[in-house]
Structure 1
Amino acid sequence: MLAVLLLPGALRAFLPALIGRSALAMGGLALLLAVQDSTGSYAQAGFATAAFGIANVVAAPWRARAVDRFGQRPALTTMAASQAATLIALALITASDGVAAIWFLVLSAVVGLTSPPLGAAMRMVWASLTTAGDQRTKAFSIDAICEDLLYVAGPVIITAVIVATSPGIGLWVTAAAVFLGTTAMTSSASSRTLRGTGGSGVRGDRPLRQPGFVRVLTVLLGVGCVLGVAEIAAPAVAAQHDAVSASGWLLAAFSGGSALGGFLYGQLNLKTGAAKRLFVLCIGMGLASVIVSQLDTLGLFAAGIALVGLFLTPSLVTGYLIADAIVPETSQTEASTWINTSLNLGASLGSAAAGIIIDRSGAWLALLLVGVIALALALASAVPFTQLRTMEPHADHTPDRCDQGG
């Protein structure tokens, strides 16, 4: 699987893209701690973080559409420069006294609005460097694994920076990461060649208008729900066993299972259609969640939550592959971003519902219900979803066509 990194131009774009993408992994925590330190209020910090998150999700399809239309270099560098400037402005006002609370919300929202879709853009680069099928699956898999690792390491790194310096410096570091990473990526030859449609695309090319694409999003919504519940249930189970310190290990087991699943998936040379694979993976994740809900001991729960995670990255990678196959080239970045948006929406809904259910009935019921929901969404979308000819006719598009991401 690592062989795809040796493709001409791959590392030159991929490494700086990871640096730029680390800003999203660090940004939420840096923003939270900086606003809290400045205002002395976790409520205010929470509102600022929510403004950042909501703005990021709402603007995602439009940012991706801009990349498809104008090309990677002009669109991404403009977004990165805007976000970096806003992060610096936020750092400056958090170091000032007497700043009105509204400014924290406004600037946090702008940080979210201007977040460049580097994951989607990098998947466009991968698609331009690889051939459809096994090679592209390996590329998307290693991309997803590295993104998982970013979200493990990012909060740790930014926390260390803030502890050693100050919360404001954390925002400066995040600004530097997004700007330097993005400009380095878009200056690579493989990114510069993705120039965009220049507005030549038509409304019929939009991802949501493609037959079967909404069904893909529906299935991934169930996967996201399981993700959101698992991230809340793990600390709750640890607390239930009077082992709060084990919370981090349980979440690490979940993330580790996801990374292992992505690695194994990238090694396999599967011949079944991507739509059928996504259906099977979502069914597997739902069943694993149901099984885990019945496990009592902490050790068994850790193994079970790792099993649930095993299906996460393969499901996401398969969603990207389907988007790559059924959505026209002119809307590829937007399509990949919709994949991420569906997963994130499911995770947000799952997290919100899990908190309520766990308070009243315990983590086991939350996991059981979300497992059933994931199974129901997969089954409801099964026909004619699994009959999608996802690796045809777009799979025969030329290897140098753009892919996308979110």
Structure 2
Amino acid sequence: MNFSAYSEIWRFPAVRQAVLLGVLGKAPWFGVMVVLTLHVVGDLGQGYASAGALSAVFTVAVALASPLRGRLLDTLGLRRTLAPSLILLPLGFIAAPFLGYWALMAVMAGVGLLAIPWFVLTRQLMLAAVPHDLRRPALALDSVVTEVAFMGGPTLGIVLATTWSTGGTLTALALASVSAAAILTFINPPLVSEGRTDTAPGRGGIRSWMSGPVLTTFVATVAVSVTLAGTDLGIVAASRAMGSSTVLAVVIVVWGAGSLVGGFVFGGLPHGAVGLTPLIAGLAIFTALGALGSTPWLFAILMALAGLFCAPSIAAISERLGEIVPEASRGEAFGWQGTFNTLGSAMAPPVIGSVMDSHGWQLGLVATGAAGLALAALGWIALRLGRRGVARHRMRNA
């Protein structure tokens, strides 16, 4: 393993910018999602169903806008794409604490359409900044940064909301994320590498870069997001069954820590050392094995092992897309990846939740792992069949 690659990529200013601004932008944004629920349930006096409906509207808006936002990054560039967001998002979040439920839902729908595409941006920055042989550690580092933001942002949001106010915290966190985007816009780092050969996105739009391998990568995205969303639900259900909120905190921390370790190890591996399908299979299998966690500590250990595959799976998906999609269309491709990620995250809770309601959290985790494994197998089979079809076509025309 080549961990010196991390010191090599750190020499690039754009990498340091992506890491720093990625944390400053993503962490508050993750916090916003949690505080929004607390605000609806607390200050607005609504139920969790109403909070879930508002979150769903926001999530759908983000998913619908993500491909378009990515394409605008490809065609218009960073500054012109983010300019409307830098103007309108602060207005929406400054007004949010003073709005009733239905007005807030309408505003959050607009916010979702204009949300800063942090995940597309940081991946593009990483890929544009480093040479081809350093892409893996760069994308692994991006996944690790996202994991840190995911753990730290909601924690910060909950602390501020409980000691201050949900409305004020909502505005403060959102403005912090937008401020990071404003700094990034001012710096305006390149989203494509120097000396690229493709100068503009294909005129056919998505048809110019969509292919069998790209589609199977999107299936892999759904597999990972279904598994992670189901695991989230399983950890909460298992902790409640064990009768301890401490278990929930410990398991989430060790699960995230496992992901951090896995991400760093993956980034140090040589290209081709481990494929995407084995990583997703490992994630699914170890998630299912979490059902054997009969005690809090055993459950925490099993979830830490499952966590080892989280960040590597996400990084491997980004790595594959970066390789098979033309550079001038990467923003749109990563935008579609975000949409498929949202699709998987939305699919898992109702299905896995119903299994847990009927048969307990253990079978819910087994179902989560089985779903992820089935989707990974589906993508792998489709890719193999597609390659064989291309080979037969070439032989007939030879």
Same fold (TM over 0.5): yes
Alignment partner of 1:142 is 2:148: no
* AA partner of residue 9 (structure 2): V
- For residue 44 of structure 1, report the CA deviation from its aligned partner: 3.7
SS in 2 for 1:258: helix
2:214–2:321 Cα contact (<8 Å) kept: yes
Bigger mean CA offset, 111-120 vs 371-380: 371-380
- For residues 199-218 of structure 1, the aligned pairs below 5 Å read 201-203=202-204, 206=207, 209-218=210-219
Superposed CA offset, 1:191-230 (max 9, x none): 48789x9986312555872231111111221222111111
Q: CA deviation at 1:154?
A: 0.6
- Is the 2:18–2:126 Cα contact (8 Å) retained in structure 1? no
Matched, 1:167 2:172: no
Q: Relative to 1, partners in 2 of residues 1:28 and 1:324: Cα closer, same or farther, differing over 3 Å? A: same
Matches within 5 A, 1:309-324: 309-324=307-322
List gaps (5 residues or longer) in structure 2.
1-5, 388-398
Deviation, structure 1 residue 136:
1.1
- Which of 46, 54, 60 is residue 48 of structure 1 equivalent to? 54
- The 1:9/1:372 distance shift into structure 2, 3 A limit, reads closer
Which whole-Å CA distance do the structure 2 matches of 1:70 and 1:204 have between them?
14
Report the Cα distance in structure 2 between the residues aligned to 1:293 and 1:208, rounded to whole angstroms: 41
Residue 21 of structure 2 corresponds to: 16
- Superposition pairs for residues 5-404 of structure 1, below 5 Å? 5-42=10-47, 43-91=49-97, 93-94=98-99, 99=100, 101-133=101-133, 135-191=134-190, 201-203=202-204, 206=207, 209-272=210-273, 277-383=275-381, 385=383
CA distance in 1, matches of 2:168, 2:249: 26
Gap runs ≥5 in structure 1: 390-406
CA contact (8 A) 2:62 2:113 kept: yes
Aligned pairs, how many?
Answer: 379
Q: In the aligned structure 1, how far is the partner of 2:293 from the partner of 2:43?
A: 43
- CA distance in 2 between counterparts of 1:207 and 1:376 reads 29
How much does 1:258 deviate?
Answer: 1.3
Note closer, same or farther for the CA distance 1:90–1:113 as it changes in structure 2 (3 Å cut). same
Q: What is the DSSP-based 3-state SS (H/G/I as helix, E as strand, rest coil) of the residue aligned with 1:39?
A: coil
Displacement of 1:388: 9.3
Change in Cα spacing, 1:344 to 1:252, as seen in structure 2 (3 Å) is: farther
| TM-score, normalising length: structure 2 | 0.87
SS in 1 for 2:292: coil
For 1:395, the equivalent position in structure 2 comes to: none
Distance in 2 between the 1:291 and 1:74 partners?
A: 47
User: Taking structure 1 as reference, are residues 238 and 13 closer, same or farther at Cα in structure 2, changes over 3 Å only?
Assistant: closer
| Residues 1:74 and 1:145: Cα distance change in structure 2 (over 3 Å) | same
**Gap change, CA 1:8 and 1:217, over 3 Å in 2:** same
Quote how far apart the aligned CAs of 1:139 are. 0.9
Q: Are residues 194 and 75 of structure 1, via their aligned partners in 2, closer, same or farther at CA, if it must alter by over 3 Å?
A: farther
**Which amino acid in 2 is paired with 1:286?**
A
Select between 36-45 and 258-267 the one with higher mean Cα deviation: 36-45
More deviation in 371-380 or 353-362?
371-380
What is the identity percentage for the equivalent residue pairs of Structure 1 and Structure 2? Answer: 24
Kept in 2: contact 1:9–1:189 (CA 8 A): no
Equivalent residue letter for 1:351: P
Residue pair 2:79, 2:188 contacting (<8 A) in 1 also: no
CA distance in 2, matches of 1:214, 1:371: 21
Equivalent residue letter for 2:82 = L
- Greater shift, 310-319 or 49-58, is seen at 49-58
State the distance in 2 between where 1:328 and 1:88 align: 39
> Which amino acid is the alignment partner of residue 282 of structure 1?
I
CA distance, structure 1, for counterparts of residue 114 and residue 376 of structure 2 = 33
In structure 2, give the amino acid aligned to 1:124: Q
Shift of 1:357: 1.0
Query: Structure 2: which amino acid aligns with 1:281?
Result: L
Quote the RMSD (CA, aligned, Å). Answer: 2.6
TM-aligned CA distance change 1:189 to 1:48, over 3 Å: closer
User: Residue deviations 1:310-341, cap 9 Å, x none?
Assistant: 11111111111111111112210121232233
Deviation at 1:189, TM superposition (A): 4.9
Matched to 1:81, the amino acid is: I
CA distance in 1, matches of 2:143, 2:385: 26
Give the match's secondary structure for 1:102.
helix
- Residue identity opposite 2:252 in structure 1: L
Which amino acid is 1:52 matched to? F
